[in-house]
Amino acid sequence: MIAAAVLNEWYPVAMAAMVGPWPGRATTLLGHDINVFSEGDKIIVRGAGGDLAVTLAYGHVWACPGTPAHDLFPVPEAAQPGRRLVDCGAVRVKCSPLRAVENFLDIAHFPFVHTDVLGAEPHTEVGRYEVQIREDSDEVWATKVHFYQPQAAKSAAGGIVTEYMYRVAASTSAVLYKTCPNNPDEWDVIGIFVQPLTEELCEVWPWMALFDDTTPQADLIQFQQMIFLQDRSILENQIPRLLPLDPGKEIPTQADLTSIAYRRWLKRKGLTYGAQMVAA
């Protein structure tokens, strides 16, 4: 039995540009088989119990298996002139969708998992940053996050201190804003949209909205895929596979304030699909 709070959220189920006519993309959402297909101009997400609520945004098809509790989260930068929107395809990961999001919110792993790209020893320190659960938007935000990076983006020529903001926009979607190497007045925007196939299996759809006119699309996608394949080697080897929400099973530090807030927010909202509630 899946909680109504979980059913009433929006989940990514396909890249919009890839959807064809019936049977389209046969996939799974929250353990149930669905087909994502086009019919004329429309995109339909069909499950055994009928058609799901659908919305198109940020290059992806979003579906809600229940009654949508709210609109899909806004990303105003998606409509900003001059940005390149890049769909990166999916990476399938044998882990809880919540673990995939939590890893995306984490910076302390950069020197060890994305060595010499997003981080490098001895630049391992995570300084104090600010985290809040914003009551107006009902989102988790981390701001003033700074980290030294050898190659922060495909377009970065050398090491720089990158500033980040992280945003949990939905239970299985997060967006980060980071220093833009080509445009100091703007942020690069990178999202991960995680499709929960089951509680222990997900597909991760990275998506980017960048100020970068020069890097070939294939290189941007390859860079993002490389980063996610490195993350996958972690995500598939965490025990347990589910994200523990009860304190005591795992030990966070000050660098994990975003993850602590994310777990607390999930628990408060009852968004526990993919979570372990009782310490095993």
Partner 1 sequence: MSIWIANGLSQDLPPGVVMAGAWRGAELAIWRSASGRLSAWGDRCPHRGMRLSHGFVRGETLSCIYHGWVYGSDGGCRKIPAHPAMVPPATIKAEVYQCVEAGGVIWVAPAAVESDAPDLAGLTPVRSVTLRADRGALARVLAGAVAEGDLWRVPALGAVLALQDRAEGLGLHALCHDAAQRVAVSRWLDGVLRLAEEGALA
Evaluated on CA atoms 229, 231, 235, 236, the torsion sign reads positive
As given in the structure block, the two tokens for residue 81 are 């002139």
Evaluated on CA atoms 196, 199, 202, 206, the torsion sign reads positive
Residue 254 makes contact with partner 1 by CB under 8 A:
yes
Q: CB of 16 within 8 A of CB of 59? A: yes
Which 8-state DSSP code applies to residue 159?
-
Cis preceding linkage at 184, omega within 30? no
Q: Which of 7, 113, 133, 260 binds partner 1 (CB under 8 A)?
A: 113
In the shown chain, the binding pattern of residues 176 to 215 toward partner 1, with x for contact by CB under 8 A and - for none, equals ----------------------------------------
For partner 1, give the closer residue by CB, 134 or 249.
249
Least distance in angstroms from the C-beta of 244 to partner 1: 8
Half-sphere exposure of 91 (CA within 13 A, CB side): 24
Helix (H, G, I), strand (E, B) or coil at 207: strand
Q: Which of 65, 97, 181, 244 binds partner 1 (CB under 8 A)?
A: 244
Q: Which of 111, 181, 191, 206 binds partner 1 (CB under 8 A)?
A: 111
Residue 238 makes contact with partner 1 by CB under 8 A:
yes
Checking DSSP bridges between strand 275-276 and strand 243-244, what pairing results, if any?
A: parallel
Residue 117 makes contact with partner 1 by CB under 8 A:
no
Query: Considering CB under 8 A, how many residues would be counted as binding partner 1?
Result: 24
Residue 247 makes contact with partner 1 by CB under 8 A:
no
For partner 1, give the closer residue by CB, 13 or 168.
168
Cα–chain center distance at 134 = 18
Residue 253 makes contact with partner 1 by CB under 8 A:
yes
Helix (H, G, I), strand (E, B) or coil at 97: helix
Task: Give the integer Cα–Cα distance in Å for 119 and 113.
Answer: 8
Residue 248 makes contact with partner 1 by CB under 8 A:
no
Site stretch for partner 1 (CB under 8 A), options 12-20, 77-85, 106-114, 219-227: 106-114
Binding site for partner 1 (CB under 8 A): 106, 108-109, 111-113, 121, 124-126, 233-234, 237-240, 244, 249-255
